[in-house]
Structure 1
Amino acid sequence: MNNLLLIDALNLIRRIYAVNEPKGNKEQEAHIKASCLRVEQATRSLLRKTGATHAVAVFDGDKSWRYHFYPKYKISRQPMPEFLNQNLDKFSEAFANVGVKSFNPEHDEADDVIATLACKAAAANVNCTIVSTDKGFLPLINDAISVYDYFKKSIISIEDIKSRFSVTQSKLEMFWALSGDKTNDIPGVTGVGVKTAQELLAKHDDFESMLKDETVKPAAKAKLEAGASDYVTSLALVTLRRDIEIGFSLKDIRVV
């Protein structure tokens, strides 16, 4: 039975690097080396835990379609530390040391690449584990696709999603499109917060039915009507693409 391991490379690397990140330049090289060793150890552990037959560590390309579609996307996010950015090739070597290839798309975000690979694998009856703390992968979870938080050492369940967001998994993207996502500077509908979004989604399966619902308070209805275009924009931003051109097949990422 084939098992595919998909590592959100920068998600793993940046969280490991951030632990005891040095302030001075003299310690930077030693910290890079130590972080590479931790990434290598983490990857070895993940291969063992998942029994992966195939694996790939996916990095982010430069300025994906989201930045062009919505110029304010991630505009407030802190850039990657420059010294880390200059040494990413060493982390690719760390993955390679345990038989895992890296994939560096030119422009696509790792999230879209991983979503595409996971869905294609699932369609081919290949079980898949995504390693990331990024909530954007949660809508993908099904019998063939799991999401594993390496730092909490746990697989995220459908029950975890309901407990965390108070909406069903199938409505996560609509939830974020309504309430917004501050971590990625996705606007949502102005004036519609988390609680209102949860209340609306408890009763409705789509945006159109919210607008038609006579029981929705006039103030909330006005916000929905005024923010319809922002909802459409936000929904596009939070929905992972599953049709990215990858350029390699499963046999190319067999664990060696």
Structure 2
Amino acid sequence: MTTQLLLIDALNLIRRIYAVDSNQSHHSEEHMIKASCARVAHACKKLLSQCNATHAIAVFDGDKSWRYHYYAAYKSTRSPMPDTLKNNLARFKHAIEETGIVVFSPENDEADDIIATLAYKAASNNVSSTIVSTDKGFLPFLSAHIAIFDYFKKHYIEHQDIKQRFNVPQHRLVDFWALAGDKTNDIPGVKGIGNKSAEQLINDYESIEAAMMDDALNATLKRKLTADMDKLIISRNLVMLRTDINLGFSLKQLRLN
């Protein structure tokens, strides 16, 4: 049987399902949590079947990854996880484990970096994987061996979806986000450069360095880039997912029973 690795961004899945359930009328908070856990487990079972998974893992976020130490304002304005959900995460983890999927909660690393590392290492060994997440940070990894599935839209992301959404080449997404910033995660970008200016720079030049060296570059854009080059470098490092995390386990340990 061909190896198929299923990689679930656990909190990305859980938080969206919980958000829907928490807005429904339930007899009690306990009833709501039970219903939400059941829906998460049902989603996992559907994903296992749909992806023909032979190996699977659901990854949670660790506490305060390296990004928080590297840039103090990282995700500083993001709303905290609701206490009810936070206090019941163990039950959600158990619900996922009941489906046969390995649950992994790193000490400090973010789920995105763990998943990117797993997908990258699998692809390097010609093993196909499917990442289940709505997080745009995974889009640069879409390739012959790495699929990305949006469970809520029931849609596999295609290269044309990326082009239509951002209007820049897939391999330049990191530069695009580094230039324009990302308010959702409090990533600064270059002051005064928004999506339109970033899009123009990406599509007109092979690299940001090439744009800086061009005497014909708009003087205002060049001044903004020069003045905020430190934020550009910081932003690029923040948006680029790591593929070199020391995992401490092997693919064999993720095999489904």
> Shorter-chain-normalised TM-score: which range?
over 0.9
Query: How far 1:26 sits from its partner (Å)?
Result: 7.1
Structure-1 residue corresponding to 2:75: 74
Residue of structure 1 equivalent to 2:88: 87
Shift of 1:135: 0.2
Instruction: Give, as a single letter, the amino acid of the residue that structure 1 aligns with 2:144.
Output: D
Q: Which residue of 1 aligns with 2:168?
A: 167
Per-residue deviation, 1:20 = 3.8
CA–CA separation in structure 2 for the residues paired with 1:27 and 1:191 = 48
8 Å contact kept, 2:21–2:36 = no
Tell me if the contact between 1:181 and 1:188 (Cα under 8 Å) persists in the aligned partners: yes
Cα deviation for residue 27 of structure 1 reads 2.4
Q: Residues of 1 paired with 2:79 and 2:11: CA distance?
A: 14
* Whole-Å separation in 1 of the counterparts to 2:206 and 2:171: 9
Cα–Cα, structure 1 residues 46 and 76, in superposed 2: closer, same or farther, change >3 Å? Answer: same
TM-score (structure 2 length as normaliser): 0.97
Q: What TM-score, normalized to structure 1? A: 0.97
Partner of 1:192: 193
- Alpha-carbon distance between aligned partners in 2 of 1:179 and 1:119, rounded to the nearest angstrom: 26
- Other-structure match for 1:140: 141
The separation in 1 between residues aligned to 2:66 and 2:27, in whole angstroms, is 38
Q: Which residue of 1 aligns with 2:98?
A: 97
In the other structure, the counterpart of 1:27 is: 28
State the match for 1:115 in structure 2: 116
In the alignment, is the contact (CA less than 8 A) between 1:12 and 1:39 conserved in 2?
Answer: yes
* C-alpha distance in structure 2 between counterparts of 1:25 and 1:128, whole Å: 37
Counterpart amino acid of residue 205 in structure 2? H
Q: Can you give the 5+ residue segments of structure 1 that lack an aligned partner in the other structure? A: none
For 1:204 and 1:31, locate their aligned partners in 2 and report how far apart those are by CA, in whole Å.
52
Which amino acid in the other structure matches residue 101 of structure 2? V
> 8 Å contact 1:22–1:28 — kept in the other structure?
no
Matched, 1:59 2:57: no
Q: Distance in 1 between matches of 2:48 and 2:81?
A: 27
Residue 224 (structure 1) aligns with: 225
Cα distance in 2 between the residues matched to 1:28 and 1:101 = 27
Which amino acid in structure 2 is aligned with residue 166 of structure 1?
A: N
Shift of 1:46: 0.3
Aligned to 1:239: 240
SS in 2 for 1:148: strand
Aligned 8 A contact 2:21 2:35 in 1: no
Q: Secondary structure at the match of 1:5?
A: strand
SS at match of 2:143: coil
Question: Shift in Å at residue 149 of structure 1?
Answer: 0.1
Q: Residues 112-146 of structure 1, C-alpha deviation per residue, up to 9 Å, x if partnerless?
A: 00000000111111100000000000001110001
Distance in structure 1 (CA, Å) of the matches to 2:153 and 2:124: 28
Q: Tell me which moved more, 27-36 or 142-151.
A: 27-36
Percentage of pairs with the same residue:
54
Instruction: For 1:104, give the aligned amino acid.
Output: S
Does the aligned pair in 2 maintain the 1:22–1:31 contact within 8 Å? Answer: no
Distance (Å, rounded) in 2 between the aligned partners of 1:108 and 1:26: 37
Query: Could you tell me how far apart the structure 2 residues matched to 1:75 and 1:14 are?
Result: 19
Partner of 1:248: 249
SS at structure 1 position matched to 2:22: coil
| Range with bigger deviation, 65-74 or 81-90 | 81-90
Q: Deviations over 1:138-178 (max 9, x none)?
A: 00111000110000000101110000000010000000000
Q: Distance in 2 between the 1:25 and 1:42 partners?
A: 20
Indicate how the Cα distance of structure 1 residues 92 and 232 shifts in structure 2: closer, same or farther if over 3 A, else same.
same
In the alignment, the residues of structure 1 paired with residue 23 and residue 198 of structure 2 have an alpha-carbon distance, to the nearest angstrom, of 41
CA RMSD of aligned residues (A): 1.4
